Amino acid sequence: MRRDKVKRNVVELCEVPEGREGRPSKSLTLSQAESVLKAAENARPRTRAYIVVSLLSGARTEEVRAIKWSHVAAYDETRLGDRATESGSPVSAHNMRRDFRKVLDSAGLTGKEWAPRELRHSFVSLLSDHDIALEDISRLEGHSNTVVTQTVYRHQIRPVIQEGATAMDAILPLAEREP
């Protein structure tokens, strides 16, 4: 339009759907993660395995739901079920979300305020908070670079100002600042 090659922008003729605003993701703190793992010990074996594998590996929710228990533990699958509910149907996202929220409730959190996908966010944030290089975390997550890891998955747990203060203390030691 600016160079007069096109008389009008056809996109302006389209009605773009607005969509709906989603809830921003969040991460468990270290103490919350420990509480969730402790509460998961009393959950169904499939729920416990789901939470442990998700939180400790950072795998995507759909990837973890597809894991057969024989991949993560050596026990009798006929007794506990392999990726199945008590009725024999596959574990759905809804069923796992329901069971996950029950564990969070028993861990002292409000389960309805959390989603299983936030275990992946927690994995990234906890590693970052414990000084694991962002490049290493990105590789663990299967990201091709650090942009998605940093902008989507990493939630700052420690205040950023603490890092700045620590860096400035190293740059300008106290003895050098005194007149």
Q: For position 109, which CATH number holds?
A: 1.10.443.10
How many domains does the chain fold into? 1
* pLDDT exceeds cutoff 90 at 91: no
96 domain-assigned: yes
| pLDDT (0 to 100) of residue 79 | 47
The mean pLDDT of 62-73, rounded to a whole number, is 71
| pLDDT (0 to 100) of residue 43 | 92
Tokens at residue 52, please?
A: 């442990």
**Which residues lie closer than 8 Å to 173 by C-beta, 6 or more apart?**
none
CA quadruple 156, 157, 160, 166: dihedral, nearest 10: -140
The mean pLDDT of 101-113, rounded to a whole number, is 96
pTM (two decimals): 0.69
72 domain-assigned: yes
175 domain-assigned: no
